[in-house]
Amino acid sequence: MKTDTTAIDIDRGKGDFFYPEAHVRDAGVGLSERTIHYIADVKDDPDWVREFRLRGLKTFLEKPLPTHWASKELEAIDFDKIRYYLAPGTEPKRSWEEVPDDIKRTFERLGIPEQERKFLAGVEAQFDSEAVYSNIKKAVGEQGVIFVGSREGLKNYPEIFRKWFGKVIPVADNKFSALNSAVFSGGSFIYVPPGVKVKHPLQAYFRINAESFGQFERTLIIADEGSEVTYMEGCTAPKFNTPTLHSAVVELVALKGAKIQYITVQNWASNVFNLVTKRGLAQENAEVKWIDCNIGSRLTMKYPSVIMKGRKARGEVLSIALANDGQHQDTGAKMIHAADETTSNIISKSISIGKGRATYRGLVHVPKHLKHCKNNTECDALLINATSRTDTYPAITVRGTGNAVQHEASVSQVSAEQIFYMQQRGLTEAQAMSLSVNGFVNDLVRQFPMEYSVELKRLIELEMEGSVG
């Protein structure tokens, strides 16, 4: 028996390949099982996570690109040229001088603090926010809230983490969630104990770890019974980033009576493909609310969804998209009603400037035998220039007599009279235009936390510059 084993070992050894660069903390370019094992090794993943990753890879390779309904632009992504994992410390170093001037100018106009600017521009890999936010962190910690990186979450809190991880968004949900499942790193894990209401919004860059801004981050938020939490991801400043593909997965679980609010302001550089899967599960009386602003990137495909699984659960998506030259904001929402008396609301506003294209894609599903479910959907699109484009593609399925669904969409432009009126009062055409656009999104922006709404307003003003005349 023993000799047999030895013989086999010898044979195996002949077939093995050894790569000296395997010691370097870099998974190299392209995607294969080797990449997955490499990431799992570096991160010291438990076996179940490694298997999860491998399943993700298999699914990713099997699934075709969804170009039968989505933009053909997806074909421009070369999956073999992408680095799927960069260990901390190996990111390409960049000096402040190398950051493009327009990005620097934008930071200045938005009033981003000096320290944050360098981090956002990728000059500094780490952003020390400890001083600013340590008070909040302390307060939250005392309430028993767990707020850590996803890797720490799966290591230190496996009993909670594993129960929900990959449950709201299964590996095979879509090609890009499968890709994320294979190579995920970074992201947040949050657990809010029963009854705890977190006063301050938790922000991704509370944590010092730069991993939260990764390309393939994976976030899991669990709000236990009766708790409340608000989470903010990203910030209004443009993120200057070399990777061209960003594919995150965000799972929210709101248990009985809990409330989760998730705020995103996406402002990637205009060469980034932003393909994100976000979904929340709302149990009885729980509420999941997505506030989603998309301003940057080349192509964004993101449809935050809520599965209302318990009675009286509530789902909401508020979305603002701004598409400028060369951009396609393909955003929307999905509302899956799976229990009686569930209600959902979608409000989407998009602005297309120059040659920009904004698309709303929505799905509302009310299966049979549900009673008193309600959905309201409003999509408004604003076109600024003659070359701008906007599309709306909702899909609504309703069964049974106990439910009411309404969908409305409109497309319009800034009226010439409005502009004329404001110009007559001494505003320039550009100022008047930006005021009109801000007015168009105002009722949504008012629901945002204060600092976001102020920055968002400035950002719209910036985007509107040069779009007139």
Partner 1 sequence: MSSVVDHEVAEPAPILSGPSDTREFPDWFRDQQRAAWQQFEALPSPTRKDQAWRFANVGLLDLAPYKIRGVLSEDDRKNVLKYSRGLNHHAGRMIFANDQLIERDVVSADLKKRGVIFQPLERAIVEHADLFRKYFMSTEATLGSAKFAALHQALVSSGTFLFVPRRVEIELPIEIFHWLRHDNMSVFPHLLLVADELAKVTVIEHFRSCDQRAAGFACGVNDLIAGPGAKVTYVCAQNWADNVIALQINSTTVDHDASAMSLNLHLGGKYSRFESLSRLIGEGGRSDLLAVAVAKNQQEFDARTLQDHISPRTASDLLYKNALDDRARTIFGGLIRVEPHAHFADAYQKVRNLLLSDDAEANSMPGLEILADNVRCTHGATSGQIEEDQLFYLRSRGIPTKVAQRLLVTGFLDEVIQRLDHPAIGEHLHGLIGQKFVKLTSSSSR
Shortest Cβ 116–partner 1 spacing (Å): 37
Q: With left for phi above 0 and alpha for psi between -120 and 50, is residue 458 left, alpha or beta?
A: alpha
Applying CB under 8 A, which residues contact partner 1? 68-69, 366, 368-369, 381, 383-413
Nearest approach, Cβ of residue 167 and partner 1 (Å): 26
Give whichever of 202 and 346 is closer to partner 1, judged by the CB atom: 346
Give me 386's structure tokens: 């003659």
Q: Which is nearer to partner 1, 126 or 397 (CB)?
A: 397
Close Cβ partners of 119 (under 8 Å, ≥ 6 residues apart): 126, 127, 205, 210
Sign of CA dihedral 148, 151, 154, 157: negative
Name residues whose C-beta falls within 8 Å of residue 467's C-beta, 6 or more positions apart in sequence: 324, 353, 354, 384, 385, 430, 433
Q: Give 143 or 345: the residue with its C-beta nearer to partner 1.
A: 345
Q: Give least dist CB 372 to partner 1, A.
A: 11
Give whichever of 272 and 379 is closer to partner 1, judged by the CB atom.
Answer: 379
Closer residue to partner 1, CB minimum distance, 199 or 399:
399
Residues 6+ apart with CB under 8 A from 214: 185, 186, 187
Residue 12, both tokens: 């195996």
Distance from C-alpha of 385 to C-alpha of 425, rounded to nearest angstrom: 23
Nearest approach in angstroms of CB 289 to partner 1 is 23
Kindly tell me which of 156 and 406 has the beta carbon lying closer to partner 1. Answer: 406
Least Cβ distance, residue 288 to partner 1 (angstroms): 23
Q: How far is the CB of 429 from partner 1 (least distance, A)?
A: 16
Q: Apex CA 217: angle with CA 129 and CA 456, to 5°?
A: 60
The minimum distance between CB 395 and partner 1, in angstroms, equals 5
**Minimum distance from residue 412 beta carbon to partner 1 (Å):** 6
User: 287-294 and 249-254: which strand pairing?
Assistant: unpaired
Determine how β-strand 146-149 pairs with β-strand 188-192.
Answer: antiparallel
Q: Is 422 exposed, middle or buried (0-12, 13-18, 19+ CB in 10 A)?
A: middle
Residue 367 and residue 371: Cα distance in Å, rounded? 10
Rounded CA-CA distance 219/213 in Å is 11
Neighbours of 307 (CB within 10 A): 22
Helix, strand, or coil here: 300? strand
Distance of CA 25 to the CA centre of its chain: 27
* Smallest distance from partner 1 to CB 298, Å: 19
Nearer to partner 1, 201 or 394 (CB): 394
Of 125 and 411, the one with the shorter C-beta distance to partner 1 is 411
Picking from 256, 171, 263, the residue whose alpha carbon sits closest to that of residue 218 is 171
Q: How far is the CB of 80 from partner 1 (least distance, A)?
A: 27
Burial class (CB in 10 A: 0-12, 13-18, 19+), 381: buried
The residue (of 77 and 398) whose beta carbon lies closer to partner 1 is 398
Specify the residue, 390 or 436, whose C-beta has the smaller distance to partner 1.
Answer: 390
